[in-house]
Each structure stands twice: as C-alpha cells, then as structure tokens.
Amino acid sequence: MTTFLSGGTGTPKLLAGADGVFPPGETTVVANTGDDVELGGLLVCPDLDTVLYLEGDVLDRETWWGIGDDTAQTHEELHRLAGAADLAGGPRYLGAEAQTAGRPIARWRRFSGVAEFMHIGDRDRAVHVTRTGLLDEGYTLTGATRVLATAFGLDRDVLPMSDDPVATLVHTPAGPVHFQEFWVARDGEPTVEDVEFRGGEDATATDAVLRALREPVVIGPSNPVTSLGPMLAVDGIRRALAETPVVAVSPFVEDRVFSGPAAKLMAAVGYEPSTAGVAEAYPFTDAFVLDSADDTALDRPVVRTDTGMETAEDSARVARAVAEALEVVS
Ligand code: GDP
C-alpha cells in the first residue's frame, strides 16, 4: 500500500498516469482541506473534488478543477440576479460572528452565495449539495467523501486530511483573507505577509488518515505552503510523517515553478522559493524526485527524471521515478 498527499494540481497530475505503477486498489489519497470554503451554505472542497473527479474520470483536464463540459446555469443566474439588484460582486466574506456559528467544519471560511465568486458548475454543485446534506445528516467529512467516492465509482481510497476545520488565511497589508479570495478573486496579487492555518493546532488526524500514514508516503509536486502546510499544521500528521518513509516530487526546477503561487507564498513564510526550500520545508522527507535539469544538491537521496507532466506517459515516468526512490528508502 502507498499513500499520496494531495493538493489540487501536482499530485492529481501524477496520479493521472500512475495506475500501472501504483494500482488504484493499493493506494490511498489524503487531500488537503485548507482550501475549502462554505459558499452560499455549501461546503466546497476543491482538492478533494479534483481527486474525486480525476479518479471518477469526469475531471475538466483543462483547468484541473470542476467537471468537464459542465453547464453553469445556476452560477450565471446568481450573477444576473446580483447585477440586476446592484449588489457588489463577490467575494462576500461573512461577518465575524457568522464565521464561528453553524457547522464547525466551515469555520473561518464562510462566504455568502451572492454573486458567487468561485465558478461552480451545475453538476459540480450537485456534489456540494450532496456533501453538505450528508454533513447535515450527521456524517463526518470522511464519511461524506466515502459516499461521493462510491457515487463516482472510485477504486482509490480518498480521505480528507481531517474532519476538523483548518482554514488557510493569507495575511495581506489590508488584513487576512481566505486563500480562495486571494487566489481566485484577486489573482494572487496582494502582498503576502504571512500564511496562517487557522484551527490547525486543535485539529486532529482521523484514524483513517493515521492508518494511511503508516504506509510509505508520496508527496506529489504540490504547493508546500497551501497544499501541505495545512496538513503539517496538524500534530498527528506531522508526527506520523516522521515515522514512515516519505518521497516528495519537487514542484520546482531549481527556482522555476511549473505553475501557481508557490514561489510567492514560500518566500512569504520564510522558505527559499526553490527545490532547496521545498527540502527545508519537508525535513521528514527521506528522498526526492527532481527534474533532470535540476542540479540542486540535497542531503538526501535523489532520483532524477523529466518531471514535467502533460500526458499520461509523463505521469507514468514520474511515478516510476517515485517508485524507485521509495525502494531506496523503504
Ligand atoms: P493547488 O492545490 O491547485 O494549488 O495545487 P498543488 O499544490 O496540488 O500543486 C501546485 C504545484 O504543482 C505548483 O507549485 C506547480 O509548480 C506544480 N506543478 C504543476 N504542474 C507540474 C508538473 O507538470 N510537474 C511538476 N513537477 N510540478 C508541477
């Protein structure tokens, strides 16, 4: 068995062609939930959903989020209504009191559904309604995710990192904003002073996650701050990673990032935005997979390959390098 830790792009890209090396029935994916938001009363879990849609073969492979060929009638109508009533566009973060009222899992990340600031497709929304409905019925997020995994016919086990709230808040000169507001609504432009994982200290790892972390662990090329940071903020997860063989794929080629805000956020929290900084952020990692063009010298075993992943063959190549690195450290 092997356990993958996942955000919404790098690890899913790796999994997309990894079945021959890491058979679905022998792998578990633990997904970040720091990016989750409650939007118009619905819990949206972008990283969990990317894994569900990928493994269920419905993912929009252009964006790496949402369902391919989904319509967006409800989303469009929300914008029409808000515009016709002269309501300011989203994101409309709810007031301080509302942030800690209601279901605990949505703490510190509640937005009004008015002028919905994230693009939610119609089929995608059905998933959020089902998930939130299950939570209202008393399911944990782990249980609700299992139901959705069954609905999408998954062979891989998919787990949220915790059933407790951990909210990724980006501190800017104008105050803290949720990561989705920073990234989706403001294009990652505000200056970042710090990144906080609110709730991380009190959150516990579920038994299912702790069981999964007894197996060798693969960290795909994820954003170390926003995808791994929330997991590492949970004590039990950090401790478990120190005890098991871990292989990580760098999301950088030396100091060049493939996509997304990893460099800016790493610099903001005090890591060099590079492969060297990733190694520093992951002291529990036993071996790394680096790009062939990445000459970073590390104090741990390294397997090199072309880590760019566009096709399933690319993913399979990186998966083979990961398996090779795991053999060295297991
Ligand atoms: P998010 O949840 O969508 O923010 O994304 P993740 O944390 O899962 O992944 C983001 C990271 O994936 C970025 O830092 C990218 O550099 C990295 N990435 C994207 N595509 C590739 C690729 O093809 N190869 C490698 N090695 N990294 C990639």
Classify domain 2-35+44-59+120-329 at the CATH class level.
Answer: alpha beta
Q: pLDDT value at position 199?
A: 98
Q: How many A from CA of 262 to the centre of ligand 1?
A: 8
**Residue nearest atom 27 in ligand 1 by C-alpha distance:** 251
The domain limits of the chain are: 2-35+44-59+120-329
Closest atom of ligand 1 to CA, residue 250: 26
Q: pLDDT value at position 140?
A: 98
Q: State the CB neighbour count (10 A cutoff) for residue 123.
A: 16
Q: State the CB neighbour count (10 A cutoff) for residue 172.
A: 18
Q: pLDDT value at position 88?
A: 85
Q: How many A from CA of 166 to the centre of ligand 1?
A: 21
Q: pLDDT value at position 9?
A: 96
Task: Tell me which residues have their CB closer than 6 angstroms to ligand 1.
Answer: 7-11, 13, 47, 221-223, 226-227, 249, 251, 257-260, 262, 307-309
Nearest to 225 by CA among 292, 162, 280: 280
Nearest to 54 by CA among 129, 161, 153: 153
For the chain, list residues with pLDDT below 70.
none
Q: pLDDT value at position 295?
A: 98
Per-residue burial over 192-208, b = 16 or more CB atoms within 10 Å of its CB, e = otherwise: beebbbbbbeebebbeb
- Give the burial class of 137: count Cβ atoms within 10 A of its Cβ; 0-12 exposed, 13-18 middle, 19 or more buried: exposed
Q: How many A from CA of 20 to the centre of ligand 1?
A: 21
Distance between CA atoms of residues 37 and 178, nearest Å: 9
